[in-house]
Structure 1
Amino acid sequence: MRNWFKSGDPWIWMIGGALSISVIMVVGLLLLIAVRGFSHFWPSPIVETTAVVEGEQVRVLGVVTNSETLPADRIRESGQIIDDDAILVTRHLFKVGNRDITGRDFVWYLESTLSDFRYPENAMMVERREWGNFYGYPLRLEEAGVPVAGGDELWPVLQERIVRANELHGQIQQIERYEIGRINGELERLRLEERKMDHRQLPAAERAPIQRVIDQRRQALEAEYEVLRIQREELQERARRDVLIAQTANGIETPINLSNIVMASRNNALSPPGKLAFYGHRIKDFLTGFPREANTEGGIFPAIFGTVTMVLIMSVFVTPFGVLAAIYLREYARQGPLLKMIRVSVYNLAGVPSIVFGVFGLGFFVYLVGGSIDNLFYPERLPAPTFGTPGLFWASLTLALLTLPVVIVSTEEGLARIPRTIREGSLALGATKWETLWKVVVPLSAPAMMTGLILAVARAAGEVAPLMLVGVVKLAPSLPVDGQFPFIHLDRKIMHLGFHIYDVGFQSPNVEAARPLVYATALTLVVLILVLNLTAIAIRNRLREKYRAEGD
């Protein structure tokens, strides 16, 4: 036994076991997140039953989202009446929807008060843009108050009309979000031109021709807006014509305008291929759609787009500055106590809490630098700030500062691993120190630089605390990149996956509806970081092979 310990085999087995446990825990966590998150999009069966509530029978129609068994004493403390001899009680959480009628989406029912579960094929789930889901039975479809379909022909006609309503909704969104948004932006620029002339106190002779051009342009924009307004009203009128008359489980007839419907599904009647198609469609909507209902419904595309954009801009800034700083510290700075102090400071900077960087970014970047930019280049917009307010640019710079020590340390380590003989060989062949550095040393250390960038991207994409202060918001009205000049709007606020998880998980007014979205968004963030890292790793490996082949 003593010889076995001396051989080191126990420590090897211990390290291997710890590594295996760590891998199992990570994989298990990802599987838990995936199951809890993306199972939400699967078309669950719609259950119909009756429940006894305060001595009265109530019909229940919805989806069972959770079941749990609790001690009976805990249920008695909540005021619910159960058998005196009961020890354990099972209850089910139903998503009954119809929040505009009942006032709540989710209701707990004791299993002992429920009748047998039934799964009617004509029961439907309607996903709405407002008021959440609706669960009930379709009765008829009306157009401008006139019935157009009912009975067996109702469902295919309804699906066609929903597709048409979604197309109309997309056209309305295109007009409101982009066309009218573009006109409003140009009108705002014209107003700022007038304020600029007031600020410069131009003489009337110089102001008159400029004002004439501004007035002509404003009239043209107002005429264009009037055309778009009429077109939008026509589309809205067409979208409001179709109305679905549905019935709740308790027999209440409810009109649902098709302009408010995202999709409708009879989950109990779906075949396995239909369920897969439904599942894929809902995941696609989640990844490419915009959020609704206080971020508890809809998609997360703005958060994905904002995260990727911010990380890319951060990488553009942190890579050159980190590499140049590392090159100076390793190749040019005189070795001594001062340099050691600088290195220690860089190492300590990597351990500073991220919220401190957020406070620094808010005070230095936003208020000092951004306020100075506004005073110098945008005085006509004051007191409304342009760059003197949190935005994409300052969030990216704050993250660049946060991850700068990682890039510096990785690059320095890469430069230190370059053999001295390579430098001496280059110098012996007549190359200058500058040529040796940039044509020999730096290319060979490029994989180490990419390693630093990989670590920087992984940390930056998952940060939340500093971003809450320097540019990330709950809901951004527009993306930071569009077709309007200058195309990348660095002054705009953005959404971020990490902050979206925090907001949905801890600030949502509808906890039960938000819980699966927290898991789904968390898995999306992990996958996004993995994709960014794999891309950087592929680039690093290609650089490594390239310079290894050249060295051979």
Structure 2
Amino acid sequence: GGRLLLESVDGRRLEQPLEQVLRAWRPNAMSPPAKMVAWGRGVWRFLAEGPRAANSAGGVWPAIFGTVLMVLLMSVVVTPFGVLAGIYLNEVAHQGRLTHLVRIAVRNLAGVPSIVYGVFGLGVFVYGIGGSLDEWFFADRLPSPTFGTGGLLWASLTLALLTLPVVIVATEEGLARVPDNQREGALALGATRVEMLTRVVLPMTAPAMLTGVILAVARAAGEVAPLMLVGVAKLAPQVPVDGEFPFVHLERKFMHLGYHIYDVAFHGDDVQAALPLVYATALLLVLVILVLNLTAIFLRHHLRARHGALPRR
């Protein structure tokens, strides 16, 4: 191996053996295939390694994992509540003035700034529910909080609350598009109201429900402001899933691609040197959202092909 010669501005020189250098290569002496291999290794390190030097260098694997896990948990929470609320408003509740006011309130909630949801999550989920859980079950660890501080669970619940109006509105619109003769035919054949909803109406509404979930994922995956209050961390090299019981640690803080972009772009020591990392992480965030959306779109297409497309009114 060779030696690396470093010279400072004031003329001091330092020789370093290449064996002690983390990574070294000679670009001018590399062939095009070797350059492609080196580029591929760099991309793999960026995707598979954890961050180093306070998020200014290294990979973004914990941020990718945290973003995807948070979106999945948010979808698991918001989908049943949004669907049930939409079914109740459209199929069960008496269609009077109160139901009309509730619909107006739901649509207005969709326009509330996301930072307001973050403040609500901080006060209700983190300090309220989380503080109570610490007093009931983790009193021996106080004053060090367990659930009374930001974490993956509270971030997922906050974003579920943020995206709940989107799922409710999409579900209601899907239910409204189901022709009344489908309901009347099921009831005329002897089906109960519950059987009519579960066997006829809901399967035909499933594509619209998944449309709401797609819109919810698209909005939640890119949100940063509420996460800064309820759980995101600047540097969390350990992912919330490991081999220790209970395996998924919902109380842990996590990294997020959106906050990683914000932190590297505006809080790094050398912003100009970090610009390539910012651009690469931004592109990766778009690709992650695209993959999540394509998965939901594929499921929607499958359900639509299975149950038939609803007629447009």
Normalised by the shorter chain, which TM-score bucket? over 0.9
C-alpha distance after superposition, 1:363-405 (max 9, x if no partner): 0000000111111111111111111110000000000000000
Partner of 1:429: 189
1:390 and 2:150 are equivalent in the alignment: yes
Q: What is the deviation of 1:536? A: 0.4
Identify which of 227, 233, 255 aligns with 2:16.
255
Aligned residue among 40, 44, 57 for 1:297: 57
Equivalent residues of 1:245, 1:253 under 8 A apart: no
Give me the whole-angstrom Cα distance separating, in 2, the residues matched to 1:451 and 1:381: 43
Task: Evaluate the alpha carbon distance shift between residue 340 and residue 293 of structure 1 in structure 2; reply closer, same or farther with a 3 A threshold.
Answer: same
1:489 correspondence with 2:267: no
- Structure ranking higher in strand proportion: 1
Check the 8 A contact 2:74/2:157 in 1, yes or no: yes
Offset, 1:257: 7.5
Runs of at least 4 residues off by over 6 Å: none
- 1:547 paired residue number: 307
Q: Does 1:438 align with 2:201?
A: no
Tell whether the 8 Å contact from 1:390 to 1:493 is kept in structure 2 after alignment: yes
Structure with the bigger RCO (C-alpha within 8 Å, sep 6+) is 2
Tell me which moved more, 524-533 or 540-549: 540-549
Deviation, 1:512, is 1.6
Q: 8 Å contact 2:50–2:237 — kept in the other structure?
A: no
Corresponding residue number in structure 2 for 1:448: 208
| Distance 1:294-1:412 versus aligned 2 partners, 3 A rule | same
Which SS does the other structure have where 1:247 is aligned?
A: strand
Question: Of 228, 236, 240, which residue of structure 2 is paired with 1:480?
Answer: 240
Question: Could you tell me how far apart the structure 1 residues matched to 2:264 and 2:205 are?
Answer: 42
* 1:251 shift after superposition: 8.6
Q: CA separation of 1:378/1:257 partners in 2, compared to 1, >3 Å: closer, same or farther?
A: farther
Deviations 1:323-349 (A, max 9, x none): 000000000101111111100100000
Q: Could you say what secondary structure the match of 1:248 adopts? A: strand
What do you get for the CA RMSD once the two structures are aligned?
1.5
**Residues 151 and 231, structure 2, Cα contact 8 Å, conserved in 1:** yes
Q: Is residue 2:103 matched to residue 1:343?
A: yes
Name the amino acid aligned to 1:271: S
Counterpart amino acid of 1:254?
A: E
Q: Matched residues in 1 for 2:189 and 2:140: separation?
A: 60
Distance between the aligned counterparts of 2:168 and 2:277, measured in 1? 37
| Conservation of the 8 A alpha-carbon contact between 1:406 and 1:452 | yes
Q: In the alignment, residue 516 of structure 1 is paired with which amino acid?
A: P
Could you tell me how far 1:260 is from its partner in structure 2? 5.5
Pair 1:477–1:521, CA change in 2 (3 A): closer
Q: Summarize deviations over 1:59-88 as a string: whole Å, max 9, x none.
A: xxxxxxxxxxxxxxxxxxxxxxxxxxxxxx
CA distance in 1 between counterparts of 2:207 and 2:261 reads 33
Matched, 1:353 2:113: yes
Aligned amino acid, residue 277 of structure 1 = V
Cα distance, 1:408 vs. partner? 0.3
TM-superposition CA deviations, 1:408-442 (whole Å, max 9, x none): 00000000000000001100110000000011101
Q: Provide, for residues 21-54 of structure 1, a one-character-per-residue CA deviation record: whole Å limited to 9, x for no partner.
A: xxxxxxxxxxxxxxxxxxxxxxxxxxxxxxxxxx
Conserved 8 A contact 1:296-1:513: no
> TM-score of the superposition, structure 1-length normalised?
0.54
TM-superposition CA deviations, 1:439-471 (whole Å, max 9, x none): 110111000000000000000000000000000
Three-state SS of the structure 2 residue aligned to 1:309 is helix
CA pair 321-254 structure 1, distance change in 2 beyond 3 A:
same
Counterpart of 1:333 in structure 2: which amino acid? A
For the 8 Å contact 2:62–2:237, the answer to whether it is kept is no
Structure 2: which amino acid aligns with 1:529? I
Deviation for aligned residue 1:245: 3.5
Report the counterpart of residue 498 of structure 1 in structure 2: 258
Q: 1:477 offset after TM fit, Å?
A: 3.9
Alignment of 1:18-97 (within 5 A): none
Deviation at residue 291 of structure 1 after TM alignment: 1.0
Kindly provide the CA deviation profile for residues 501-551 of structure 1, in whole angstroms up to 9, marking residues without a partner as x. Answer: 0000111111121111111100000011001000100000001111129xx
Aligned partner of 1:514 in structure 2 is: 274
Q: Measure the CA separation in 1 of the matches of 2:80 and 2:141.
A: 33
Does residue 246 in structure 1 map to residue 7 in structure 2? Answer: no
Q: Following the alignment from structure 1 to structure 2, what is the Cα–Cα distance between the partners of residues 251 and 358?
A: 51
Out of 70, 76, 83, the residue aligned to residue 310 of structure 1 is 70
Scaled by the length of structure 2, the TM-score of the pair is: 0.95
- Higher Cα radius of gyration: 1
What percent identity do the matched residue pairs reach?
A: 64
- For 1:467 and 1:344, the matched residues in 2 are separated by 27
Aligned length: 306
Once the two structures are superposed, residues 84-107 of structure 1 have per-residue CA deviations (whole angstroms, 9 ceiling, x without a partner) of xxxxxxxxxxxxxxxxxxxxxxxx
Q: 2:129 aligns to what?
A: 369
Equivalence for 1:415: 175
User: 1:361, CA displacement in angstroms?
Assistant: 0.1
1:258, CA displacement in angstroms?
A: 4.3
Report the equivalent of 2:45. 285
Distance 1:267 1:260 in 2: 16
Residues 4 and 18 of structure 2 are in contact (CA less than 8 Å); yes or no, is this contact kept in structure 1? no
